[in-house]
Structure 1
Amino acid sequence: MTISTRTRLLGIDNLRIVLTALVVIHHAAVTYGNIPAWYHHEPARDGTGLILDVLVMFNQAFFMGFFFLIAGFFTPASHDRKGSGPFLRDRLKRLGIPLLVYLLVLRPWVMLGFYDGSMPYWIFYIGSWDPGPMWFVEVLLVFSACYVLWRRSGRPAGVRQSPLTLRAIVVFTVALSLAVFAWRFLVPVGQYWPVVGLPTPSFLPQYAAMFAAGILAYRRGWFTSLPPAAAKWGLIAAGVTSAVLLPVGQVLTQGWAAQLATAAWETSFAVSMAIGLSVLFRERFGTQGPIGRFLAENAFTVYIIHPLVLVGLALLLSGLHTLAVVKFAALVLVALPVCWKLASLVRKIPAAGKIL
């Protein structure tokens, strides 16, 4: 790997840091907004809760799909280097063990607020089985297994430089918008899948498509071949599609046309943000100093432990009576450094350091 390529890959590494911070911010916003979808929820008692709801809506439209895009990008090289069997064993080790640790060790602590003593704890423990935010790891394991099956079917896997064209972007965006639109007749927005714990199964077509796009981006050299101007135009496209399609969805309010407008906005926003931010970080944030390395090395552990930190800090802040957005800001400002510091301590545990 050349120095230039390594530098450019550091841009993706830095993107992972930002997306991980967005996960913490997202769940902090849910804590004090009007969407009861987190372990600790204090419904907003003022209008600033709507600001947090809008933040959640924009985040949800793109950030988890972006995670799957990045995961897909790094999948082919790992498989090529290790082979199918070792690759799957490595995925089970680095993803499966953290998933089990969260389910068996961390989850009981963040779920304590839901236990009212009306039943034996072991019944509550089993009945509330849910991977929480680790659903991402769960789905990623499935996608990784699917990739191995695809490779074993004899599909060609060689690198073939092929620049990403505007036509391909448009076709992908339109096709995915239609797929999301059709999928939501079966899995409406807001539906939750218990036990497996998927909080947003209505987004599964986006997650799968972005994972596949990440694989293609690696194989065809899209990350390095996109022109610098793609950063500007990607972010402009995200703004324009939001300005056009979001009002359409609000005006129509319901019915298939509103659902299509919503699916089109989410997809267009996700694709535009992925392109814009990827190129922006490649061009402007492609280096790392000691702080950047620290943040990158501990990002995945932050993802695993952040529910425990957020719930604990939110309980400490529960006596603070102020605007919802102020409590949100206070929680974020404290939670982010605490998450990274605690993550670094966790990774110093010998057994954990070999996995995380």
Structure 2
Amino acid sequence: MTTRPAPAPRPVPTAGDGRRLAFIDNLRILLTVLVVLHHCAVTYGTIPVWYFTEPAQDPTGLVLDLFVIVNQAFFMGMFFLISGLFVPGSADRKGGRRFMRGRLVRLGVPLLLFALLLRPLVTAGIYQEYASEVPYWLFYLVSWDPGPMWFVETLLVFCLAYVLIRRLGRRPEAPESPAVPAGPASRQGGAFPGAAAVAGFTAALIAATWAWRIIVPVGTAWPVVGLPTPYFLPQYALMFAVGVLAFRRGRLEHVPRAAGWGGLAMAAAGCALLPLSLDAPERVDPLTLQALVDPVYEGLFAVGTTLFLLWLFQRFFDRQGPLARFLSDNAYGVYFLHPLVLVGGGMLLSGWQAPALAKFAVLGAIALPVCWAAAQGLRSLPYAERVF
């Protein structure tokens, strides 16, 4: 008789006194829902960047495109910030080598499983267009990309960078020890960054985005590496760094009301620039003021929305009942499985003639509960909880 191994404990951010920060887990649920809805929107909008699409034939498709553009400006950056919160405590407890081995399991295994199992399924419809011309193995190699798992691929690189920087910054006489606890004795809660710090970070993010897009303009994709939006890389990296520093200094334990409402004002100011961004030509001279519109809009909106959501969730959603714990525990599985659910759901709805917005709403309403149920089923498999 064999017994199932106990699942590895899921790392959670904690306050300086050891309290679990439930609002962070609840924010991760929201962001996972936005990921699913984001890909529902590209299924029926006019931005055909998904495995199964029905480009909109009516004006409601533009509403879905707007949702995609606004969502893209902040949600993955916030995902990286939250991911950064989980890194320092785990690295302190385990040490760099053991931490990276754990990351290879938790991030690398799903990436490999998606490539070997899920990707052939979600690209089957695309391959039918080329089946008479090329064998599947060639199609698989030529069209390779990790799909939505680009996030875990990038996060794995960020974790490795953190470990290397941490090792380089350590004094030679202080060897790495896996027994360093993350708790009240090693980490004290600090004051939330003030207005000057937030403004400085936002300015740095805007400048980095502007400079990066001289090399990697909007619309660039790195299909083999896997990043569909490499032009957002400065936001992803800086938000991850903010998450790491926020854990180290306990910055997120008390988000003041002023930060929340100030963030909302920043997000609104960013939205005011959105019409200029939408009217901009596809290629913009980087030395003109027009080239600053996107970086300023995205920087203001990303930082502002992040601040507002952190305050809102800490103030009103800093607790979890059974339902929220279920949603949180299975969020990673949902991220992994949602492409298969959306492609299957899109195919089932393909014969229904309706406005794009209506099909988006129906697919989202079906996909969200199915994704969470499927994720729970996935995690019930032997060893799966050690990964998902």
TMscore range, shorter length? over 0.9
Q: Give the C-alpha shift of residue 300 in structure 1.
A: 0.3
Counterpart residue number, 1:341: 373
The residue type paired with residue 44 of structure 2 is Y
Unaligned runs of 5+ in 2: 1-13, 172-181
Does residue 120 of structure 2 align to residue 120 of structure 1? no
1:252-274 deviation line (CA, Å, top 9, x unaligned):
65443222111111011111111
Q: 1:292 to 1:126 in 2, by over 3 A?
A: same
Asked if the contact 2:276–2:293 (Cα under 8 Å) also holds between the matched residues in 1, the reply is yes
Contact 2:16 2:250 in 1 (8 A): no
Establish whether residue 36 from structure 1 lines up as the match of residue 59 from structure 2: no
Shift of 1:136: 0.3
Does the Cα contact within 8 Å between 1:13 and 1:296 map onto a contact in 2? yes
Checking the alignment, whether the CA contact within 8 Å between 1:250 and 1:258 is kept in structure 2 is no
Pair 1:231-2:246 in alignment: no
Higher mean C-alpha displacement, 78-87 vs 155-164: 155-164
- Which of 358, 362, 384 is equivalent to 1:330? 362
- TM-score, normalised via structure 2 length: 0.88
Contact 1:180 1:203 in 2 (8 A): yes
CA distance in 2, matches of 1:354, 1:181: 40
**Equivalent residue, structure 2, for 1:207:** 236
Unaligned runs of 5+ in 1: none
State the match for 2:340 in structure 1: 308
- In 2, Cα distance between equivalents of 1:277 and 1:283: 10
Any idea what the Cα deviations from partners look like across 1:298-333, whole Å, max 9, x if unmatched?
000000010000000000000010100000000000
Q: Does the residue aligned with 2:217 lie in a helix, a strand or coil?
A: coil
Equivalent residue number for residue 69 of structure 1: 81
What's 1:286 paired with?
318
Q: Offset at 1:286?
A: 0.6
Please state how far the C-alpha of 1:228 moved relative to its aligned partner: 2.9
In 2, are the aligned partners of 1:223 and 1:279 still within 8 Å (CA)?
Answer: no
In structure 1, the residue corresponding to 2:50 is in which secondary structure? coil
Per-residue CA shift, 1:149-202, capped at 9, x if unaligned?
A: 011012599646353111011111111101101111111111111211110000
Report the Cα offset of residue 143 of structure 1: 0.2
- Aligned partner of 1:187 in structure 2 is 216
How has the CA–CA distance of structure 1 residues 230 and 106 changed in structure 2, closer, same or farther, with 3 Å as cutoff? same
Q: Residue 155 and residue 52 in structure 1: after superposition, are their counterparts in 2 closer, same or farther (change >3 A)?
A: farther
Number of residue-to-residue matches in the alignment = 354
4+ residue runs of structure 1 moved beyond 4 angstroms? 1-5, 155-158, 250-254
Residue number in structure 2 paired with 1:101: 113
Shift of 1:236: 2.7
Deviates more, 1:220-229 or 1:319-328: 220-229
2:245 counterpart (213, 216, 234): 216
Counterpart code for 1:148: V
Aligned equivalents of 2:153, 2:45: Cα separation in 1: 27
Instruction: Please identify, of 215-224 and 15-24, the stretch whose mean Cα deviation from structure 2 is larger.
Output: 215-224
Of 119-128 and 152-161, deviating more is 152-161
Partner of 1:148: 163
- Would the aligned equivalents of 2:39 and 2:50 in 1 still touch at CA under 8 Å? yes
Shift of 1:121: 1.3
Q: Determine which structure has the larger helix proportion and give its number.
A: 1
